[in-house]
Chain A
């Protein structure tokens, strides 16, 4: 029995040695803790070398030209998108940002540079949960229903192409997105199968949630469970953070936000996991508060802002922000999001809606569509136990799963960037 066991073990070891990975340096990411991986900047040596600047044009589109922008969003004047362009004829890739992120968030800019370097035009779209998108480009002004979001995104893609088509020559189209943008990319790809405007050649989902409800529940609880004393102590938690930065400054003699500085500070004082988890939770809560407020105002109020009030460009919004921060995404789901769709279709139940907002809902398509690939991390903090393995099974050999990297923490790692670019070039990662 023992011999057989040893034999199996040896075979396993040998197999792993002769796998294609052996030819290259094994993947190494400096943070093994998934919260560290998600939050912390990495030193420059673990970042892909990308061009410093790329030719970019920012432009605005108005998918609903009749719509009036409320005064409280006085600074808003159309949905901003960006095009990174090649002089020559080239393939174009659309990229969709993650929850609450805009077309030029740091992760988006890194993707733009990587694809530009690989010879693509890159058209970047803010997340449908981003205020500017809700105000200008969301039909229901209530983001989160994936098939509605896909229709909104698809409309934006068409309008954006109309805007830039005279400027560039495009050979074919591809699509990617990270986090919420990843799951949305899958739904957009599905829509494209019937609409056939772009006929995407390849689609890559980067760290997508498998189930929106599961992932937002996890993110909600990060803030609740990791701020000592709970949400009522948010301000104290923040003031403590300010104090720690102050003493770090004193100790190091200087302060900046570069990856190298943060890594140095990290080596001296490894932050506690609960602190990092709270940081992820708070940043998610801030994005959600922006989204809830914008959706609520655009739809006439009643949830966190009063119904039928006039808000101007000098209205103080602090109180609404405070309420938004203390409203979990799951509260929003049960109190505001579900009731809206229930009104339209009284047979719809909460469990049905929750099941609908998943990749499982379109599993058949994902299994059959060979052009769609998956990039994920085994330790992604937004995934419930078993979800990464489930996606691995669905995508089979079209899935690339890294052991570490947290939620999107390794997107700029040289190996990961190489994998992403090679995926679209049709080469082996």
Chain B
């Protein structure tokens, strides 16, 4: 238990550090000799018809976290991911991914149900049963080859489905782009998952060490499957691009 408190403390200190580092303004700092550019925003961009309005009142903070994530990814996360992929045969990595996906079918199930998507709920349940039995505790995914595709849903999508707007854009430490609605959704999904896991009183979930290992492997596996690498776009506007693409992608999965 002390271990997990220490982890939480560390996280808190880190976040505080970021907050302190990023309290500054997001406007370029003017000097005495500042001259406006030849091509100015107000002359060129017409507000009435344009500007993808994504609310980002915490931009200074968000950019700080974005920067933190860049370094975290570079010096901690990606080295761990490469060590993991180096040690593990590809075949075993796929089994791990399937196993994790199968466990988190729980969230797909509850959220499809909450959105009254009964067909998708049924598919999710069928997938879980087939993959847990025929697929041996979810290590394989025979359901997909039976044309039962995964039906990913999370509580952020459920909220969106019922008309909850994005709220301000947020960049979460380690987890990356999000917004107020999706962050709340993430928290609810986590609480629901942990509550049920505890209710079930499965032996492995009771064991703190096993739980920690499971969470760690889940995080590494998730990063491994996410091809995004910071600044591979090469664009100085990457923060803005990620913000736009994240927001569009969420819109797509909510409306689908």
A: residues with CB less than 8 A from B are 72-76, 100, 102, 104, 126, 130-132, 229, 232-236, 238-239, 242-243, 245-246, 249-250, 253-255, 286, 289-290, 293-294, 296-297, 301-323, 326-327, 331, 335-336
The CA of A387 and the CA of B40, in the complex, are separated in Å by 36
- CB nearest to B229 among chain A residues: A104
Instruction: Write out, one digit per residue, whether chain B residues 102-117 have a CB within 8 A of any chain A CB (1) or not (0).
Output: 0000000000000000
Contact partner, B33, options A246, A308, A321, Cβ 8 Å: A308
Residues of B within 8 Å of A254, CB to CB, are: 149
- Verify if B45 is at the interface (C-beta below 8 Å from A): yes
Complex: how many Å from CA A253 to CA B31? Answer: 55
With A245-B252, A307-B33, A308-B33 as known contacts, state yes or no: A314 contacts B63, CB within 8 Å: yes
Residues B39 and A317 in contact, CB atoms below 8 Å apart: no
Distance in Å from the Cβ of A72 to the closest Cβ of chain B? Answer: 7
B7-15, B21-29, B175-183, B193-201: which lies at the interface: B21-29
The reply to whether B149 and A232 contact each other, CB–CB distance below 8 Å, is no
Task: Give B137-169 as 1s and 0s: 1 = Cβ < 8 Å from A's Cβ atoms.
Answer: 000000000000100000000000000000000
Asked if B256 contacts A314 (CB within 8 A), the reply is no
Rounded to whole angstroms, the CA-CA distance of A255 and B256 in the bound complex is 10
Q: Are A309 and B31 in contact (CB under 8 A)?
A: yes
Residues in A neighbouring B25, C-beta threshold 8 A: 314
Residues of B within 8 A of A311 (CB): 28-29
**Complex Cα spacing A13 to B69, Å:** 64
User: Taking the nearest CB of chain B, how far is it from the CB of A388, in angstroms?
Assistant: 30
CB A17 to nearest CB in B, in angstroms, measures: 46
A79-B25 Cα distance, complex, nearest whole Å = 30
| B22 to chain A: closest residue by CB | A314
Q: Are B39 and A290 in contact (CB under 8 A)?
A: no
- A235-B50, A308-B34 known; A327-B39 Cβ under 8 A: yes
- Other than the given A250-B255, A313-B63, A322-B41, 8 more pairs (CB < 8 A) read A229-B49, A232-B46, A232-B49, A294-B236, A306-B28, A306-B34, A306-B37, A318-B240
B60 touches A314 (CB 8 A): yes
Q: Say yes or no: A323 contacts B40, CB within 8 Å.
A: yes
A306 to B29, CA, bound (A): 10
Pick the contact of A130: B31, B46, B59, B234 (CB < 8 A).
B234
User: Could you tell me if A315 and B26 are in contact, using CB atoms closer than 8 angstroms?
Assistant: yes
- Interface membership of B228, Cβ < 8 A: no
The CA of A76 and the CA of B230, in the complex, are separated in Å by 11
Q: Are A293 and B37 in contact, CB atoms less than 8 angstroms apart?
A: no
Flag if B34 contacts A307 (CB, 8 Å): yes
Q: In the complex the two chains form, what is the Cα distance from A271 to B86 in whole Å?
A: 42
Partner of A307 from B37, B63, B64, B248 at Cβ < 8 Å: B37
**A238 B251 Cβ-Cβ under 8 A:** no
Partner-A contacts on B (CB < 8 A) = 22, 24-31, 33-41, 44-46, 49-52, 59-60, 63-64, 67, 70, 149, 230-232, 234-237, 239-240, 248, 251-253, 255-256
Q: In the complex, what residues of A have CB within 8 A of residue B60's CB? A: 314
Measured CB to CB, the nearest residue on chain B to A238 is: B52
C-alpha spacing A303/B70, complex, angstroms: 29
Instruction: Find A309's partner among B29, B231, B232, B255 (CB 8 Å cutoff).
Output: B29
Contact indicator A235/B49 (Cβ below 8 Å): yes
Whether A236 pairs with B49 at a CB distance below 8 angstroms is yes
Q: Are A302 and B234 in contact (CB under 8 A)?
A: no
Measured in the bound complex, the distance between the Cα atoms of B237 and A311 in whole Å is 13
Cβ of B123 to closest chain A Cβ, rounded Å: 10
* Chain A residues with CB under 8 A of B41: 319-320, 322-323
Query: Which residue of A is nearest B123, CB measured?
Result: A253
The residue of chain A having its C-beta at the shortest distance from the C-beta of B21 within the complex is A314
Determine if B235 and A286 form an interchain contact, defined as CB atoms under 8 angstroms apart. yes
Known: A315-B27, A317-B236, A319-B41. A235 touches B51 (CB 8 A): yes
Check if A321 sits within 8 Å of B50, measured CB to CB. Answer: no
The answer to whether B67 and A303 have CB atoms under 8 Å apart is no
| Set of chain A residues within 8 Å of B30, measured between Cβ atoms | 306, 309
* Chain A: minimal CB distance from B50 (Å): 5
A232 to B22, CA, bound (A): 34
User: When chains A and B are docked, how far (Å) is the Cα of A316 from the Cα of B62?
Assistant: 11
Q: How many angstroms between the C-alpha atoms of A305 and B39 in the bound complex?
A: 8
- List the A residue with the shortest CB-CB distance to B52: A235
Pair B234/A131 contact, Cβ less than 8 Å = yes
Contact (A290, B236) CB under 8 Å given A303-B38, A323-B41: yes
CB-defined contacts of A290 to chain B, threshold 8 Å: 234-237
- B59 to nearest A CB, angstroms? 6
Q: Which residues in B have their C-beta under 8 angstroms from that of A310?
A: 28-29, 31
**In whole Å, how far is A25's beta carbon from the nearest beta carbon of chain B?**
33
Residues of B contacting A322 in the complex (Cβ-Cβ under 8 angstroms) = 41, 44-45, 50-51
Using known A-B contacts A131-B234, A314-B64, A315-B28, determine if residue A306 contacts B149 with beta carbons closer than 8 Å.
Answer: no
A234 and B46 CA atoms in complex are apart in Å by 11
Q: Assess the A305–B234 pair: CB atoms within 8 A.
A: no
Would you give the shortest CB distance from A103 to chain B, in whole angstroms?
A: 10
Residues of the B chain whose Cβ atoms lie less than 8 Å from the Cβ of A319:
41, 45
CA distance A355 to B219 in the complex (A): 55
Could you say which residues of chain B place their CB within 8 Å of the CB of A302? Answer: 35, 37-38
Query: Across the interface, do A304 and B51 meet the contact criterion of CB distance under 8 Å?
Result: no
Task: State A252–B67 Cα separation when bound (angstroms).
Answer: 37
Chain B positions within 8 Å of A246 at CB level? 251-252, 255-256
* A312-B237 in contact given A235-B52, A307-B35, A326-B44 (Cβ < 8 Å): no
Task: Collect the chain A residues with CB atoms within 8 Å of residue B67's CB.
Answer: 74, 313-314
A305: chain B residues at CB < 8 Å are 28, 37
Contact among A73, A104, A249, A309 with B236 in the assembled complex (CB-CB below 8 Å): A73
| B27 & A316 in contact (Cβ 8 Å cutoff) | yes
